[in-house]
Amino acid sequence: MPTTTTPTVLFVCVHNAGRSQMAAGFLKALGGDRVEVLSAGSEPKDAINAVAVQAMAEVGIDIASEQPKVLTVDAVRESDVVITMGCGDACPIFPGKRYEDWQLDDPAGLDLEHVRPIRDDIRMRVAALLDGLA
């Protein structure tokens, strides 16, 4: 359970199959037990994007066992920071929460060569986010 000393970060994209899963994977790997990590989608897919899984495996992070999850009001309510990635108005807004919208290309349908730069951009943004939470 999150405590008042451990911030909770929620990553939200439409399908919860690529961007938000990669971001969650990086934050879990870089943040360890200093942060609670959630991810969800406004219209989740049935499975994680296989190319996103492959791109993350290249940097030593395994997200293959993750499953896309539907965005709930409770997930937003439990979070201190909500990072959206293209879900627009589907993301509920609560007063007092910190929101960031990361403009990232959707890796759906892209090959590994085109997903790598998205992955690397996400890694830099997650590292900066983690520095800001410290």
Q: Give me the catalytic one of 91, 104, 118, 129.
A: 91
Q: How far is CA 61 from CA 7, 45, 75, 80, in A?
A: 22, 21, 24, 24
Catalytic residue among 87, 122, 126, 130: 87
Tokens of 109: 């349908």
75 has catalytic annotation: no
Active site residue 119: no
Reply yes or no on whether 87 is catalytic.
yes
Catalytic residue among 13, 115, 118, 122: 13
Residue 77: which residues within 8 A CB-CB, separation 6 or more?
94
Looking at the annotation, which residues are catalytic?
13, 87, 91
